[in-house]
Amino acid sequence: MDVNLRLSSGSERTVVAATFTEDEWELLRKFSSYAHELRDCKSFNKSLSVKLQISAGVDKPLTVNVELPDWDDIILLLHRMRPMILEKEPTFFGRIKNILPKNLSDARLRNLLSYQEGLFSGTHAVSMMKISISGPQGENEIILNSNRFLETWLNAYEFHRDDEKRAFLEGINKLFPVEATRALLVSLVMDKIKALCNLQGLIDLIRGDIKEFVVS
User: Domain coordinates of the chain in residue numbers?
Assistant: 22-207
pLDDT digits (tens, 9 = 90+) for 132-175: 887 666 667 889 999 999 999 999 988 888 899 898 888 888 88
Query: Where does the pLDDT of residue 3 fall: very low under 50, low under 70, confident under 90, or very high at 90 and above?
Result: confident
Please report the pLDDT score of residue 139 as a whole number.
63
pLDDT digits (tens, 9 = 90+) for 32-84: 999 999 999 888 887 778 888 877 777 777 788 888 888 899 999 999 999 99
Highest mean pLDDT among 65-69, 101-105, 190-194: 190-194
Please report the pLDDT score of residue 135 as a whole number.
67
Asked if residue 213 has pLDDT above 90, the reply is no
Please report the pLDDT score of residue 22 as a whole number.
93
Cα–Cα distance measured from residue 46 to residue 39, given in angstroms and rounded to the nearest whole number: 11
Cα–Cα distance measured from residue 180 to residue 167, given in angstroms and rounded to the nearest whole number: 18
Mean pLDDT of 116-144: 85
